Amino acid sequence: MPQGDGRLSHDLDPFDRGPQDACGVFGVWVPADEATRAEVSKLTYYGLYALQHRGQESAGIAVSDGARIVVFKDMGLVAQVFDESVLNTLRGHIAVGHCRYSTTGSPTWENAQPTFRSSGAGGLALTHNGNLINTPELAARLESAELTGTSDTEVLTALLATREGGPFAAAREILPVVRGAYSLVFMDEGTLYAARDPEGIRPLVLGRLPVAGHAGHGGEIRQGWAVASETAALDIVGAQFVREIEPGEMIAVNEDGLRSQRFAEPRPKGCLFEYVYLARPDTTIAGRNVQSTRVEVGRLLAREHPVEADMVIPTPESGTPAAIGYAEASGIPYGQGLVKNSYVGRTFIQPSQTIRQRGIRLKLNPLREAIAGKRLVVVDDSIVRGNTQRAIVAMLREAGAAEVHVRISSPPVAWPCFYGIDFATRAELIAGNLNVAEIRASLGADSLGFISLDALISATRIPKDRLCRACFDGEYPIPVDEGSRGKFLLEGAGK
C-alpha cells in the first residue's frame, strides 16, 4: 500500500503488500488571461500531492496554453518527478495530472499518465482512476491505431482522440460501450473534461476555484474550476467543493462556461472500500466524511465484538480512527502501542529474506513500557494476506503483552477487485481460504473479530444497493468475464 504517507499500516512486510490504490486524478481550468497568475501546473502538483496515497508508481502533468499540450511524466512519487524548474516550463491555463498505481498494464514509463494522443483535430491528454473490464473489446475497435502503452487507459485515449467531432462528441459515442470503473479527467487544447462511469465506483468531485484578488468583467471575481478524485485535494488548492461528478455524467469547461451531459443512466455503486481504507480521512464521499465513518465503524465494532481488555491500540495509521471509536464505545482506554517510521517509502532498500527473518522492525516498533503485561485490543482496517497482522501479534507478545485481541474494521476481504484496487488474488487472500476461527489461529491472536457488512454499510449512511461490496460479498455490480481479467492482458498482444 502507499508508503511513507503517514496513515497506513499495510506493507510492513514488502512481500505482504496491502490493497493498492488505483490512481489519483486532478484537473484545473482557469480563464486564459489568468494563466500566469494561476500557475495551473503548480496547482496540479499540489492536488496530486494531496492524492499521493492513491498511487506512487508514477506521476504526470499535462498543460495546455490554448495552442498546444505539453506532457511531463515519470516514474516515482510526485515530489520526485517534479521540481520547480520542471513546473515552470509547464505553462498554460488548463492542466490535468495523475499519480498512478497500475491495475492494467505494467508500471512502466509508457503506461504512466497523462496519456497523450494527437489526431487531425488536435491533441488529447487523459488521466484515469479505475479499471476497465472490457479492454480487449475496446482495443478491437482500434483498427489502425498503434498503441504505445499496454494500459486500458491507453486504449481509451486512442478511442477518444481518433473520433470525429472532438472529445465531447467522441465520449458520448464511446463511453456508453466502456465497461468498468472510470473516473476520467482529460483535456484538449482548449477544454477541460471530466467523466465518471455509470456506477460511479471511484469518486470524482468538482470544485470552484476563485482566481484571487482580480475583478474581471463587470467587477466580478473571476473563477476557475477544479476536478479531483477526492475533496481533500480541492481543499488543498483552495477550491470550494461544488458537487460530485454524477455517475454517467460528463462535463466540459472552457471559456463558454461549464457544460454537462449525461451519457448513461446512473446506477450508483460507490466503492465501499474507499471508506474503509482508500480515501483520505479528510475526504467526503457521497456526502459522508471518511473519518467520521471510520470512527463510527470502531464504535459498532466494539458493540459487535466486545472483549475485556486494558488498552485499545491502533495499527498506525490506518487503524487509528476505528481504534478511537472502539475505545469510546467500550470504555477501554485508548493508547499508542506501536510506533511507525513514516519515512520508509517506495525507494527504501527492501530487506533480504535473512534480515526479514530477524523480525519486521523497519516500519513498526512496539512501545514496550506501554504494553507489557496488558491485555490489548489491536484495531486494524482490513486483512489481505494476514502476514502483517501475524507479525504484529508476534511483536506485541514478544514485547510482553498479556493478551492480543485483533479487531478489524471491515469484513473479511474474500474476493478480488476488478474495478481498480489491486488486492491479492483469491488464492492469496487469507479470507478466501480460511474461516474466522482459522484466521485467528493463523495470526496467533487470542481473539479476532471483523465488523459485519451490515454494520459497515450503516456507518457510511449510504443505502446498501448504492454501494459496491464485491470484495466482501462477491456480488460484482458490473459482471466480469474471465477473459477480461488480469493486469497484463494487453502485454504482448501486439497492439
Binding site for ligand SF4 (CB under 6 A): 201, 271-273, 417, 419, 421, 468-471
- Binding-site residue ranges: 271, 318, 380-381, 417, 468, 471
Q: Which is nearer to ligand SF4, 129 or 191 (CB)?
A: 129
Measuring CA to CA, how many Å separate 334 from each of 326, 363, 448?
9, 21, 18
Are residues 236 and 49 in contact, defined by beta-carbon separation less than 8 angstroms?
Answer: yes
CB of 278 to ligand SF4, least distance (A): 7
Please pick, among 23, 70, 307, 467, the residue that the annotation labels catalytic.
23
358-374: string of b/e by CB count within 10 Å (b at 16+)?
Answer: eebebbbebeeebbeeb
- Cβ closest to ligand SF4, residue 365 vs residue 458: 458
Rounded to the nearest whole angstrom, what is the least distance from the CB of residue 276 to ligand SF4 in the complex? 8
User: What gap in Å lies between CA 100 and CA 138, rounded to an integer?
Assistant: 21
In three-state secondary structure terms, 118 is strand
99 catalytic per annotation: no
Quick one: 201 or 462, whose CB is closer to ligand SF4? 201
Q: Known binding site for [4Fe-4S] cluster: residues?
A: 271, 417, 468, 471
CB of 281 to ligand SF4, least distance (A): 17
Q: How far is CA 303 from CA 210, 405, 436, in A?
A: 45, 15, 18
Q: Crossing angle, helix 166-174 and helix 152-161, to 10 degrees?
A: 120
Neighbour count for residue 344 (Cβ, 10 Å): 18
**Cell numbers representing residue 88 in the block:** 515552470
For the annotated binding site for Mg(2+), the residues are: 318, 380-381
10 Å CB burial of residue 193 (0-12, 13-18, 19+) is: buried
Which residue, 40 or 431, is less far from ligand SF4 as judged by CB?
Answer: 431
3-state secondary structure 292-332: HHHHHHHHHHHHHCCCCCCEEEECCCCCHHHHHHHHHHHCC
Q: Which residue has the cell 495530472?
A: 97
Report the nearest approach of ligand SF4 to the CB of residue 423 (Å).
7
- Residues in Cβ contact with 185 at an 8 Å cutoff, skipping those fewer than 6 apart: 25, 26, 27, 96, 126, 127, 192, 193, 194, 204, 227
Q: Give the nearest distance from C-beta 460 to ligand SF4 in angstroms.
A: 11
Q: Of 275 and 334, which has the nearer Cβ to ligand SF4? A: 275
Please give the positions annotated as active site.
23
